[in-house]
Chain A
Amino acid sequence: MNDRKVILLIEDNSSDVDLTRRALEKGRIANEVVVARDGKQALDYLWGEGAHAGRDVSDLPAVTLLDLKLPKVPGLEVLRRVRADARTRRLPVVILTSSKEEQDLAAGYDLGANSYIRKPVDFEQFTQAIAHLGLYWLVWNEPPPKVKQA
Chain B
Amino acid sequence: MPARFIKRFATRHYAIAALAVAAAVGLRLSLDPLLGAQAPYITFIAAVLAAARLGGRASGLAATVLSVLSILYLFLEPRFSFVVAHPTDLVGLGLFAVIGIAISLLEAPGSFSGRLGADRLERTGADPVGTPLLRRVATVAAAAVALGILASLLWNGLQRSTNAERWIEHTYQVLNAASSVRSYLERAQTSQRGYLLTGSDQYLEAYQSAIASERQVRATLRLLTADNPVEQARLDEFDQLLRTRLDMLAGAIELRRQQGTAAVADLVRANRGKERGDQLRAILDAVDNEERRLLHSRAMAASAADSRTRWILGLGSGSLVLLLILAGGAIERHIHERNQAEVVLARQSRLIDLSHDAIITADGNRVITGWNSGAQEMYGWAEKEAVGQTMHELLHTSSSTPIAEVDRILAREGRWHGELAHTRSDGRQIAVESRQVLQRDDAGQPAGYLEINRDITERKQAEEALRESESEQRRQREFLARLLASAPYGISVCKGRDLVFEMVNPAYQAMVGPEVQFVGRPYREAFPQAAAAGAEARLQQVIETGEPWIVERFGAPIPGKPNAIWDGQVVRLPSAAGDEPSILAIVWDVTEQAATEEALRLAHEKLAGILESLGDGFVACDREWRYTYVNAAAERLQGRKREELLGQDMRVLYPDATAFLVRYERAIAEQVSLTFEDYYAPLKMWTEVSVHPSADGMSQFFRDVTQRKRTEEALRESRSKLEAALASMTEAVFISDAEGRFIHINDAFATFHRFSTKEECAKTLAEYPAILDVFLPDGTPAPLEMWAVPRALRGEVATSAEYTLRRKDTGETWIGSYSFGPIRDPDGRIAGSVVVARDITDRKRTEEEIRRLNTELEQRVRDRTSQLEASNKELEAFAYSVSHDLRAPLRGIDGWTLALIEDYCSQCEKYKGKGREYLDRVRSETQRMGHLIDDMLQLSRITRAEMHRHAVDLSRAAESIAARLREANPQRDLEFAIRPALTAFGDARLLEVALTNLLENAVKFTGPCAHARIEFGTANYEGQTAFVVRDNGVGFDMAYAGTLFGAFQRLHSDSEFPGTGIGLATVQRVIHRHGGRIWAEAEPDLGASFYFTIGAEK
A positions within 8 Å CB-CB of B:
13, 15-16, 19, 22, 68-69, 97-101, 119-124, 126
Contact = CB atoms under 8 A, between A and B. Distances in A.
B227 to A, nearest CB: 144
Contacts of A122: 894, 923, 927, 930
Given A100-B937, A121-B927, A121-B930, A126 B884 contact: no
Contact of A98 (B888, B895, B899, B923): B888
Interface string B983-1016: 0000000000000000000000000000000000
Contact of B884 (A22, A69, A120): A69
A114 to B, nearest CB: 21
Contacts of A97: 884
Given A22-B899, A100-B937, A123-B894, A15 B883 contact: no
B892 interface: yes
Interface in B894-940: 894-899, 923, 926-927, 929-930, 934, 937
Given A121-B927, A122-B930, A22 B883 contact: no
B356 interface: no
6 cross-chain pairs, A with B, having the tightest CB-CB distances, nearest first: A121-B930, A123-B895, A15-B892, A19-B895, A98-B887, A98-B884
B890 interface: yes
Interface in B849-894: 880, 883-885, 887-892, 894
Nearest to A12: B888
A15 B929 CA distance: 18
A121 B898 contact: no
A100 B894 contact: no
Nearest to B902: A26
Contacts, number: 61
Given A19-B891, A121-B890, 5 more contacts: A98-B883, A98-B884, A98-B887, A100-B934, A121-B894
Contacts of B884: 68-69, 97-99
Interface string B936-952: 01000000000000000
A126 B894 CA distance: 10
Contacts of B883: 98-101
Contacts of B899: 22, 123
Interface of B: 880, 883-885, 887-892, 894-899, 923, 926-927, 929-930, 934, 937
Contact of B898 (A13, A101, A123): A123
Nearest to A123: B895
Contacts of A119: 887-888, 891
Contacts of A68: 884
Contacts of B898: 123-124
Contacts of B885: 69, 98
B895 A15 contact: yes
B891 A126 contact: yes
A126 B937 CA distance: 20
15 contacts: A15-B888, A16-B892, A22-B895, A22-B899, A99-B883, A99-B884, A100-B937, A119-B887, A120-B930, A121-B894, A122-B894, A122-B923, A123-B891, A123-B895, A123-B897
Contacts of A121: 887, 890-891, 894, 926-927, 929-930
A99 B880 contact: yes
B882 to A, nearest CB: 10
A119 B884 CA distance: 10
Q: Is the interface of A mostly helix, strand, loop or mixed?
A: loop
A36 to B, nearest CB: 17
Contacts of B895: 15, 19, 22, 123, 126
Contacts of B892: 13, 15-16, 19
Contacts of B880: 99, 101
Nearest to A22: B899
A119 B929 CA distance: 15
B880 to A, nearest CB: 6
A119 B888 CA distance: 9
A120 B934 CA distance: 11
A119 B923 CA distance: 16
A127 to B, nearest CB: 8
Contacts of B934: 100
Q: In the complex, which of the residues B888, B896, B923, B934 has the most CB atoms of chain A within 10 Å of its own CB atom? A: B888
Question: Which of A15, A69, A123: most chain B Cβ within 10 A?
Answer: A123
Contacts of B896: 15, 19
A113 to B, nearest CB: 17
A101 B926 CA distance: 21
Contacts of A101: 880, 883
A72 B927 CA distance: 31
A121 B898 CA distance: 12
A5 B481 CA distance: 172
A19 B923 CA distance: 15
A134 B927 CA distance: 25
A16 B887 CA distance: 11
A38 to B, nearest CB: 16
Given A99-B880, A101-B880, A13 B888 contact: yes
Nearest to A19: B895
Given A122-B927, A124-B898, A98 B937 contact: no
Interface centre among A97, A101, A121, A126, by most chain B C-beta atoms within 10 angstroms, is A121
A22 B896 CA distance: 10
B919 to A, nearest CB: 12
Contacts of B888: 13, 15-16, 98, 119
Nearest to B894: A123
Nearest to A100: B883
Contacts of A126: 891, 895
A120 B929 CA distance: 12
A123 B937 CA distance: 21
B894 to A, nearest CB: 5
B891 A16 contact: yes
A42 B353 CA distance: 188
Contacts of A120: 891, 930
Contacts of B937: 100
A21 to B, nearest CB: 11
Contacts of A123: 891, 894-895, 897-899
Nearest to B938: A100
A15 B937 CA distance: 24
B873 to A, nearest CB: 13
Contacts of A13: 888, 892
A9 to B, nearest CB: 15
A13 B896 CA distance: 14
Nearest to A102: B941
A13 B885 CA distance: 10
A100 B882 CA distance: 11
Contacts of B894: 121-123
A15 B895 CA distance: 9
Contacts of A16: 888, 891-892
A13 B895 CA distance: 13
B772 to A, nearest CB: 69
Nearest to A15: B892
Nearest to B929: A121
Contacts of B930: 120-122
A15 B884 CA distance: 14
Nearest to B890: A121
A123 B892 CA distance: 8
Contacts of B926: 121
Most chain A CB within a 10 A radius of its CB, from B884, B885, B890, B898: B884
Contacts of B897: 123
Nearest to A99: B884
Contacts of A15: 888-889, 891-892, 895-896
A123 B888 CA distance: 11
A74 to B, nearest CB: 12
A85 to B, nearest CB: 27
**Listed residue (B884, B889, B895, B927) with the most chain A CB atoms within 10 angstroms of its CB:** B895
B884 to A, nearest CB: 5
Contacts of A69: 884-885
* Most-contacted residue by chain A among B890, B892, B899 (CB, 10 A): B892
A129 to B, nearest CB: 12
